[in-house]
């Protein structure tokens, strides 16, 4: 297989070169040959020794171009391997442990089209064209492998010399023994190196930065403050680790929803400029330990790991961010920021641990990154002055600012919430925000505008070349490839959304529920352009909102769909609307069956948890001709169920099947059957798809 691919590629190259020569374009042909030759040379691999703090994976081993790469035990859902490589292809040999062979596999991002070169026993061999962030699943094992392959470093500083402040050398003499003791002294020494580097850069002027050099090693530290004209270089294998002890950290604010104080672990000095963090090191918040440590304050603490606040011309490149217990990277009221080759690897089982939240900042670029977290990996926000995060013991400096000119590009998101999101906070305007070339590996909602708090305007937003692989689970009542909605959360008012472009989108999974465009009276959603949106299983772009699964729509206008727009299907009469309904049981203390026929997509019927069978029937009032049922399932749907009819529901024997399935998919299921005349129509659930009951937003019935 691998040889066939190489010969096919070589033949295509030869054919193109010959055609160029025949057309007389020798210079172009020669340049093309040189480029192809360079890209066909296998990449050089630079592997890193991980901190002794990390255990080796019990699930996988990995080789890249024959070089053994350490695989680190992660957080249950995934393990990971981090290394760098030069330009060129890389062939991986991934071996799954504790099994007899590779039965199945998947490699994401799927848009790369990477498939196996070969499978021998427990080893899967495949080739990537360059450095990519990949997620590999083998044998449906719950623990995936994240391959974090960075481009090779090109700007490694000297370890010593003028303008270099090596923390392990005099006068700092920081130890690299990885002991969680002497934290105050170690932190003070590193802070002194930062101060000295900043003073050096400032004295030199002209944008010069003093460089704090952090050699490979494990350093348990407290809070650090980065100063103007400072670069913090973390050598591969250099690892800053949070102590997990609340006594070692300053409280900067208090998270009301979690009832815990929060700290900015590594932040910038207010009104600073020209700061850089780079290298291939790790910033490990040790968030779970800090969250659970109640020895000092009785509540535990949460940590924002990197907080560029009230700063300008800040950059961060190549760093691996690990295990925050709050939003990991939080740019606040800052401008001209660049984040590249960023790996944000958080637990999928700790709330409030977003990846990067661009907050009240302008001219921000996030390029080539992967974000894994229970909460939103990529989002933009703007808050009121009295919001908990902005008004803590150390209030944010200055006045509230808009979010403006943000580009999040070439990013992979894995979460239980929203992959890419504007909001929830929109107290100030958010405008000119672009999400491009993003991949939603797994999420409850692929991407969204979630205007929940505030009266600010969201304007000129683009979602371009996005690829949605897996929408599963739910966030509140949302499980969809895309949502746009406004909510008056906390009675903070609502604001409009205008100028949204959704272009060149591949939706491989539409979700367990339905997409939404829900504005409000006085806060419309307007000016929507959908272009080349490909829904699951379709080879042609969607031509209506209904084809894109936008089944919940209010207070919106001015929708354009390209390349072809069809009229939305005319509404048919829902014979079940407002009619009485009866359920087999309820998952709460009130009768929820009427919610399935009330026409409100925010209310639902649900049967008792964990019980089969479960059913609901609707009384149409009289015998009517019917031939279609639409079930708008909540996340708890039926895997196996029947649609039944009768004129007398008093006996089970009276019900007659008109439709049966053992392959229920959830979401919206439109069921057609031969026309029949009946008064009562029932969904009879035989087998649940989840551990819950049978839950339906709306049960609709139609006639011919």
In a domain, 611, yes or no: yes
Q: What is the DSSP letter of 391?
A: S
- b (16+ CB within 10 A) / e for 284-300: bbbbbbbbebeeeeeeb
- CA pair distance 228, 248, nearest whole angstrom: 25
- Both 9 and 104 in one domain: the answer is no
Question: Per the domain annotation, does 118 fall within a domain?
Answer: yes
- Checking if the pLDDT of 580 tops 90, the result is yes
Distance CA 58, CA 173 (A): 36
- CA angle 404-354-77, nearest 5°? 145
Per-residue pLDDT, 20: 47
Confidence of residue 7 (pLDDT cuts 50, 70, 90): very low
**Residues forming beta bridges with residue 238, ordered by sequence position:** 217
Domain end residue (candidates: 151, 166, 189)? 151
Burial tier of 84 (Cβ tally within 10 Å: 0-12, 13-18, 19+): buried
The answer, yes or no, to whether residue 6 has pLDDT greater than 50, is no
Identify the domain boundary among 102, 127, 151.
151
Same domain, 56 and 132: yes
Query: Is the Cβ–Cβ distance between 604 and 696 less than 8 Å?
Result: yes
Q: What is the pLDDT of residue 513?
A: 80
Are 26 and 138 in the same domain?
no
Please give the full DSSP string across 44-100, using - where no structure is assigned.
PEEE-PPPTTSPBPSSEEEEETTEEE--B--SSSEEEEEEEE-SS-EEEEEEE-SSS
Q: pLDDT category, 30, cuts 50, 70, 90?
A: low
pLDDT computed for residue 682 by the predictor: 98
- Residue 215 reports pLDDT greater than 90: yes
Give, in degrees to the nearest 5, the angle at Cα 61 between 56 and 63: 125
Helix (H, G, I), strand (E, B) or coil at 291: helix
So what's the pLDDT on residue 13? Answer: 46
Question: How much of the chain exceeds pLDDT 70, in percent?
Answer: 94
User: What's residue 373's pLDDT?
Assistant: 97
The answer to whether residues 25 and 96 belong to one domain is no
Residue 635 located in a structural domain: yes
pLDDT of 1: 41
Nearest Cα residue to 272 out of 199, 166, 330: 199
Instruction: Name, in order, each residue with C-beta under 8 angstroms of 676's C-beta and a sequence gap of 6 or more.
Output: 625, 626, 627, 645, 658
Are 54 and 98 contained in the same domain?
yes
The model's pLDDT over 301-335, given as tens digits with 9 standing for 90+, comes to 999 999 999 999 999 999 999 999 999 999 999 99
Evaluate whether residue 645 is within a structural domain: yes
State the average pLDDT over residues 484-511: 94
CB 80 within 8 A of CB 188: no
What is the structure's pLDDT at 141?
A: 92
pLDDT digits (tens, 9 = 90+) for 375-391: 999 999 999 999 999 99
Cα–Cα distance measured from residue 24 to residue 26, given in angstroms and rounded to the nearest whole number: 6
Please count the structural domains in the chain: 3
In whole angstroms, what is the distance from residue 33 CA to residue 565 CA?
44
Longest dimension (CA), the chain: 92
- Here the CATH number for the domain that contains residue 101 is 2.60.350.10
pLDDT digit string (tens) for 509-534?
999 888 999 999 999 999 999 999 99
Average pLDDT over the chain, rounded to whole?
Answer: 93
Q: Is residue 306 part of a domain?
A: no
CATH at 585: 2.60.120.260
Q: Is residue 95 part of a domain?
A: yes
Q: For 95-120, what is the mean pLDDT?
A: 97
Q: Is the pLDDT of residue 702 over 90?
A: yes
Give me the domain span that covers residue 21: 2-40
Q: Are residues 87 and 34 in the same domain?
A: no
Strand 116-120 and strand 123-128: the pairing is antiparallel
SS3 of 597-649: the string is: HCCCCCCCEECCCCCCCEEEEEEEEEEEEEEEEEEEECCCCEEEEEEEEECCC
Looking at the DSSP bridge assignments, the partners of residue 483 are 448, 516
Q: 465: left (phi > 0), else alpha (psi -120 to 50), else beta?
A: left
Residue-level pLDDT at 211: 98
* Whether 27 and 106 share a structural domain: no
**Nearest-CA neighbor of 488 among 421, 433, 423?**
423
Q: Is 637 inside any structural domain?
A: yes
pLDDT tens, position by position, 111-167: 999 999 999 999 999 999 999 999 999 999 999 999 999 999 999 999 999 999 999
- Domain assignment present for 14: yes
Give yes or no for a contact between 405 and 382, defined as CB atoms under 8 angstroms apart. no
Q: Are residues 35 and 80 in the same domain?
A: no
Per-residue confidence (pLDDT) for residue 672, from 0 to 100: 95
Report the pLDDT value the prediction gives residue 361, as an integer from 0 to 100: 98
Does residue 459 have a cis bond before it (omega within 30 degrees)? Answer: no
What are residue 624's phi and psi, to 5 degrees? -140, 150
Q: Does the global pTM surpass 0.85?
A: yes
| 587, 609: one domain | yes
Exposure of 52 in the CB half-sphere (CA atoms within 13 A): 10
Domain final position from 151, 166, 184: 151
Mean pLDDT confidence for 502-506? 98
Are the C-beta atoms of 443 and 471 separated by less than 8 Å? yes
Q: DSSP state, 569?
A: P
Q: Check residue 28 and give its pLDDT.
A: 52
Same domain, yes or no: 625 and 652: yes
Residue 40 has pLDDT above 80, yes or no: no
Same-domain check for residues 23 and 103: no
Q: At what angle do helices 26-40 and 2-22 cross, to 10 degrees?
A: 160
Neighbours of 187 (CB within 10 A): 19
Same domain, 113 and 24: no
């Amino acid at each position: 297989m691998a040889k066939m691919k190489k010969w096919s590629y070589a033949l295509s190259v030869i054919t193109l070169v010959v055609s160029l020569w025949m057309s007389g374009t020798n210079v172009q042909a020669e340049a093309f040959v040189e480029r192809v030759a360079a890209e066909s040379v296998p990449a050089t691999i630079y592997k890193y020794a991980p901190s002794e703090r990390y255990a080796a994976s019990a699930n996988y081993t990995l080789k890249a171009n024959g070089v053994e790469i350490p695989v680190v035990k992660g957080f249950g859902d995934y393990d990971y391997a981090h290394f760098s490589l030069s330009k060129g292809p890389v062939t991986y040999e991934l071996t799954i442990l504790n099994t007899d062979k590779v039965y199945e596999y998947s490699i994401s991002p799927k848009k790369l089209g990477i498939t196996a070169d070969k499978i021998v026993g427990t080893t899967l061999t495949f080739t990537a064209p360059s450095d990519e962030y990949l997620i590999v699943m083998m044998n449906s094992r719950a623990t995936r492998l994240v391959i974090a392959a960075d481009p090779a470093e090109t700007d490694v500083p000297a370890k010593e010399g003028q303008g270099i402040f090596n923390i392990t050398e005099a006068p700092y003499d920081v130890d690299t023994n990885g002991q969680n003791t002497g934290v105050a002294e170690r932190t003070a020494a590193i802070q002194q190196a930062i101060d000295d580097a900043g003073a050096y850069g400032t004295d030199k002027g002209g944008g010069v930065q003093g460089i704090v050099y952090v050699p490979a090693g494990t350093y348990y530290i407290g809070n650090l403050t980065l100063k103007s004209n400072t670069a913090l270089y973390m050598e591969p294998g250099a690892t800053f680790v949070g102590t997990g002890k609340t006594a070692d950290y300053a409280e900067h604010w208090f998270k009301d929803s979690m009832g815990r104080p929060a700290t900015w672990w590594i932040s910038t000095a207010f009104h600073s400029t020209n700061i850089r963090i780079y290298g291939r090191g790790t910033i490990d918040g040790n968030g779970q330990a800090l969250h659970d440590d109640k020895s000092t304050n009785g509540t535990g603490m949460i940590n924002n790991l990197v907080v560029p606040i009230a700063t300008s011309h800040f950059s961060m490149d190549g760093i691996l961010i690990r295990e925050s217990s709050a939003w990991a990277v939080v740019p606040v009221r800052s401008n001209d920021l660049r984040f590249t080759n960023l790996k944000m690897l958080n637990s999928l089982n700790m709330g409030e641990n977003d990846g990067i939240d661009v907050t009240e900042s302008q001219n921000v670029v996030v390029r080539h990154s992967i974000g894994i977290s229970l909460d939103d990996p990529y989002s933009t926000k703007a808050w009121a002055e009295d919001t908990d995060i902005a008004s803590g013991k150390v209030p944010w400096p200055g006045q509230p600012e808009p979010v403006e000119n943000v580009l999040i590009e070439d990013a992979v998101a894995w979460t239980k919430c929203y992959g890419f999101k504007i909001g929830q906070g929109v107290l100030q305007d958010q405008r000119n925000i672009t999400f491009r070339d993003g991949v939603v590996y797994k999420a409850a909602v692929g991407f969204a505008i979630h205007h929940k708090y505030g009266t600010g305007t969201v304007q000129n937003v683009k979602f371009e070349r996005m690829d949605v692989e897996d929408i599963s689970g739910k966030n509140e009542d949302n499980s969809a490839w895309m949502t746009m909605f406004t909510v008056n959360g906390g009675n903070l008012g609502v604001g409009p959304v205008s100028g949204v472009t959704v272009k060149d989108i591949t939706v491989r999974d539409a979700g367990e529920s339905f997409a939404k465009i829900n504005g409000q009276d006085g806060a419309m959603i307007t000016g929507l352009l959908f272009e080349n949106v490909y829904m699951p299983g379709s080879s042609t772009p969607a031509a209506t909102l209904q084809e894109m699964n936008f089944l919940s729509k209010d207070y919106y206008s001015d929708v354009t769909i390209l390349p072809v727009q069809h009229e939305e299907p005319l509404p048919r009469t829902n014979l079940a609307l407002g009619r009485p309904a009866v359920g087999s049981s309820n998952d709460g203390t009130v009768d929820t069956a009427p919610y399935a026929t009330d026409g409100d997509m925010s209310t639902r019927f649900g049967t008792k948890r964990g019980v089969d069978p479960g059913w609901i029937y609707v009384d149409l009032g009289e015998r009517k001709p019917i031939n279609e049922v639409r079930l708008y399932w909540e996340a708890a749907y039926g895997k196996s169920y029947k649609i039944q009819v009768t004129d007398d529901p008093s006996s089970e024997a009276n019900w007659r099947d008109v439709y049966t399935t053992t392959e229920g998919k959830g979401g919206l299921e439109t069921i057609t059957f031969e026309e029949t005349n009946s008064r009562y129509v029932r969904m009879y659930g035989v087998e649940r798809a989840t551990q819950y009951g049978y839950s339906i937003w709306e049960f609709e019935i139609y006639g011919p």
